[in-house]
Amino acid sequence: MPPIRDRYQTLEIGALDVHVRTLRDTQQSADPDAAAAALGISSPSWPLFGVIWPSGLTLAHLMASYELQGRRGLEIGCGVGLASLVLNLRGGDIWATDHHPEGGRLLRENVALNGGAPIPFVRAGWDDLDTGLGRFDLLIASDVLYEPAHVFALSAFIERHAQERCEVVVVDPGRGQRAGIRRQMQRNGYVHSDCDDARVHHPAARAGGQIARFVRDTRPLQPPGSG
């Protein structure tokens, strides 16, 4: 099997220069220990985690100016971790997770390229009930909804890892599941704000896409004067 070929690039995200190692293209594949195959990741889909997709670039641009104060964040399906790198370089408390067994290694290498603080990474599938990740105030994801079943799996994963008061941001390129995730999140008590055209936040995003934002606050009301 030929060696995996990489690509190194520097991306201007807001005021940041972010150095990123990715796979050269989606023709790369290597699973010598069959770790990916054991997780149901086929050879054709193996490299999809390791390149930057337009929605991931849009999410990274959005996170370049997103409010971080006092928030613990999680990037779901992080891939190369571009949005996580942006938040990390801004001093945010960001964690990352991906189903792919190579996700953590690639993220660590990208953190090192940027001289950032370590980003905690947990390899986890959306059906895993005990990830050890804990709960978060801000959960973000991009281009993760390919099939109707993903709507239920993702919303359940979010529910297990979201604080009572939290915000969820999902960038979707238009794979047909946007209405489904909106309905499911609303059933779980979230308020959905109008989607923005991705090009509002990233003018170069030719693929367009939509940014869906969900907020929830299920904390019990405090009696007057309780602080």
- Identify the structural domains of the chain with CATH numbers, from first to last: 6-217 (3.40.50.150)
pTM over 0.85: yes
DSSP three-state, residue 212:
strand
Amino acid residing at 52: I
Distance separating alpha carbons of residues 149 and 40, to the nearest angstrom: 15
Q: What is the pLDDT of residues 94-138, one digit of tens each?
A: 999 999 999 999 999 999 999 999 999 999 999 999 999 999 999
| pLDDT at site 101 | 95
Q: What is the pLDDT of residues 12-25, one digit of tens each?
A: 999 999 999 999 99
Quote the tokens at residue 4: 């995996």
Distance separating alpha carbons of residues 102 and 88, to the nearest angstrom: 20
Nearest to 95 by CA among 52, 144, 141, 133: 133
DSSP three-state, residue 173:
coil
What sign for the dihedral angle of Cα 23, 29, 32, 34?
A: positive
